[in-house]
Amino acid sequence: MQLNEVTFSEAQPVDGYGPGFFRVGGDVHEGALLITATGLSPWGGYDDAASLLALAGKVDVIFVGTGSEITHIPKELRNKLEEAGLGVEVMNSPAACRTYNVLLSEGRRVALAVLPV
């Protein structure tokens, strides 16, 4: 089996996570985050639809990490995002981080809105 090193160009992958924090590009960030190929910022959780809607036309899908367990996001939030043309994939935060990293390494237009575990 041949292994290839993954390169992320300018984008920063999620390196790790733990109780209340995420490590992105080697730096530790506490709390919920919104991460794209161009940077990261704190995310206000499900009540912060505006920051997710601002990604319309810039990303194709947003992975929403719901913490340690998978849960449904509020229906109103999902409807707003889908009406704006954004794909929404909901999973627990560890799975969302892994999926984001894989698609980011492929150069896909993805974002990660993630709640801490």
d(CA 95, CA 100): 8
List pLDDT tens digits, range 22-48: 999 899 999 999 999 999 999 999 999
Residues with pLDDT less than 50, the chain: 3-6, 8
Instruction: Classify burial at 51, counting beta carbons within 10 Å of its beta carbon; exposed 0-12, middle 13-18, buried 19 or more.
Output: middle
Q: What proportion of the chain, given as a percentage, has pLDDT over 70?
A: 91
